[in-house]
A and B are shown apart, each in its own frame.
Chain A
């Protein structure tokens, strides 16, 4: 019976062909390492966020008189399992960004941004950027002290343009305008909350969905990268590839299950970090909480911003890091791929990895002069990584040519 229904559908849509082409005849390299699973995990987390978000949206009220109570009374107490979905959504946001960071570092390590995959990287970068905006807008919604003050600080950051060494007036006006437009006025009120809510629950998820689809399409079009750093000729090297299904799907499926086990450990037993204590106090525009810092996924940028003495240059520096990240495929123009075969790149990758982590951890610490100096030092190392890429590439071009065009 089921077979006949599937036959009927297949006759009209050719889903079986599609399945065979996309799942079985689609071959992937056999030597893919564990970090390649992060892409799938990010996709799963995205699905989790959408499902839990749909449930939360039914009970959340984007009005300042009710926002805090709808999150902490209606969702946490009144609705059966409301607490579960709030926990999932809050933990999911953190896991989503964690997985995206791991995915990005994997991509950098294996040079998965190089020809022919530049567009994969660029679209991925846009996803990352939109994801940060989604996280920021969502952070305001529970209307707790951290939500409120975190957003106040974020909306004040563009105003640091006023510290520009030249054209103070112009830069100041631009910064001020951005800042006011983000808030929808001079104060964070209902207008801003409604705006953030609309962006967070509708526009940004739609953009993300579209971008993720494009990202996946591009990965299929350019082929998956390879830890060894060469392109596999799927026709002539059949022993190096395996069918996507079941070879890859089952492996990543198993990893995904274990990932979910870790995820649900946090959801059920360890929410202190994902639902921070200070945010259980309703927003009070007249009192700043004692330790106000952005969420961990922004701390690196925050530390760059805060350790540089001039607000303007701090603003420029952290935005420049974002831009350099986008330009990665063009900074690193070496023909050789994957850190496995590039010792110089491997070393600089470690420098980048450690500096990013150090900046993040420094961001959680008190702003002492020593920490500011350390922050500047690691900021310099991050820039050193980006600047070293063209140099390494230049050297590697030389070696590549010397070996007669073989890597």
Chain B
């Protein structure tokens, strides 16, 4: 290859790689918000064992307005209805969890239309008092991320001025408040991320797949070199 050819190759490769790096991996030009997460909160949120505690806190503090259907958690006023448990079993899919080596049902995933029909009056009441129906939180962790959620729950008005979400945790009166919020976020994370074992399996699978293709490419390349040498190209 001539020098000029080499220059062009390097140039076009670099331009392509930089372009896709900017639009796919890190775009320094696009506007984006950062939310600071205190170290302690980050540690709690990253710990999958906290999720069980977080689930209880979530049930106590959040379910008067929010559901989390993907983990079988519904509005308090709906689960209090006498017919609810039958509806759950008839229309929902069981959500399983492993506890002490045994698989058991931790709740039911009820389809949105069924749930909204049953909860019609409750949701309308919430709408009347808050202006809109408080969203279901099943995938909120994926949509907003830990930093946003932590800061938002700690002080909703600061993050989203004008929101109808009330402030529920006051660090002035309750020393535990930041930990509690972090635990709730940890729970929301656990719903949206595969459990640690599964996660490790996926990582391994990814490494094996990538390794396979690199090796396969190299083998084909060497095979071709040998073959062409034999054929006289």
Classify A-B as touching or not with yes or no (CB < 8 A). Answer: yes
Please list the residues of chain A having a beta carbon within 8 angstroms of any beta carbon in chain B.
Answer: 30, 34, 65-66, 68-69, 72-73, 77-78, 83, 94, 98, 102, 145, 242, 246-247, 250-251, 253-258, 260-261, 264-270, 273, 277-282, 284, 286, 291, 296, 299, 353, 357, 360-361, 364-366
Interfacial chain B residues near A366, Cβ < 8 Å: 31
Let me know if A257 and B213 touch, CB within 8 A: yes
B233 adjacent to A242 (CB under 8 Å): yes
Q: Are A273 and B25 in contact (CB-based, < 8 A)?
A: yes
A361 engages B23 (CB within 8 Å): yes
**B233 in contact with A278 (CB, 8 Å):** no
B223 touches A250 (CB 8 A): yes
CB < 8 Å neighbour of B109 from A73, A83, A268, A280: A73
Whether A267 pairs with B31 at a CB distance below 8 angstroms is no
Q: Known contacts being A66-B111, A73-B70, is A277 close to B24, with CB within 8 Å?
A: no
Q: Which of B37-45, B76-84, B99-107, B133-141 contacts A (4 or more CB under 8 A)?
A: B133-141
On whether the beta carbons of B29 and A365 are closer than 8 Å, the reply is yes
Q: What distance in Å separates the Cβ of A107 from its nearest Cβ neighbour in chain B? A: 14
Residue of A nearest to B209 (CB): A264
Q: Does B3 contact A (CB under 8 A)?
A: no
Report A-chain residues with C-beta under 8 Å of the C-beta of B31. 291, 365-366
B48 to chain A, nearest CB (A): 16
Pick the residue among B132, B136, B203 that contacts A282 (CB under 8 A).
B136
Known A102-B16, A264-B213; further 17 A-B contacts with Cβ < 8 A = A30-B233, A65-B112, A68-B112, A69-B69, A72-B138, A242-B233, A246-B228, A250-B223, A250-B227, A254-B224, A261-B214, A277-B143, A277-B145, A278-B143, A282-B139, A296-B24, A364-B30
Q: Are B113 and A65 in contact (CB under 8 A)?
A: yes
Q: Is B27 an interface residue (CB 8 A)?
A: yes
The 10 closest A-B pairs by CB, nearest first: A268-B206, A257-B217, A250-B224, A280-B142, A261-B213, A254-B220, A65-B113, A280-B143, A280-B139, A281-B143
Distance A282 CA – B113 CA, assembled complex (angstroms): 14
Query: For B111, what are the chain A residues with a Cβ–Cβ distance below 8 Å?
Result: 65-66, 69
Contact B139 A77 (CB under 8 A): no
Residues A247 and B143 in contact in the complex (CB < 8 Å), given A78-B93, A257-B213, A361-B29: no
Sampled A-B contacts (14; CB under 8 Å): A69-B112, A72-B138, A72-B139, A250-B224, A250-B227, A264-B210, A266-B24, A268-B210, A277-B142, A277-B145, A282-B139, A296-B23, A299-B23, A364-B29
Interface size class of B (residues with CB under 8 A): 35 or more
Residues of A with C-beta under 8 A to B19: 357, 360-361
Q: Across the interface, do A254 and B228 meet the contact criterion of CB distance under 8 Å? A: no
B144-A277 in contact (CB<8A): yes
CB of B20 closer than 8 Å to a CB of A: yes
Is B130 located at the chain interface by the 8 A CB criterion?
no
Residues of B within 8 A of A264 (CB): 206, 209-210, 213
Decide: A258 near B217, CB < 8 A? Known: A72-B139, A77-B70: yes
B71 to chain A, nearest CB (A): 10
Residue of A nearest to B214 (CB): A261
Q: Which of B140, B205, B210, B233 counts the most A-chain CB atoms under 10 A from its CB?
A: B210
CB neighbours of B138 from chain A (8 A): 72-73
> B112 to chain A: which residues have CB within 8 Å?
65-66, 68-69
Closest residue of chain A to B213, judged by CB? A261
Chain A residue nearest in CB terms to B217:
A257
B217, A364: Cβ atoms under 8 Å? no
Q: Which residues of the other chain, A, contact B168 by a CB distance below 8 angstroms? A: none
Q: Is the CB–CB distance between A364 and B15 below 8 Å?
A: no
Pick the residue among B20, B202, B210 that contacts A261 (CB under 8 A): B210
Q: What B residues does A256 contact at CB under 8 A?
A: 217
From known contacts A66-B111, A250-B223, A250-B224, infer whether A268 and B203 are also in contact, taking CB-CB under 8 Å. yes
Within 8 Å CB of A242, what residues of B?
233
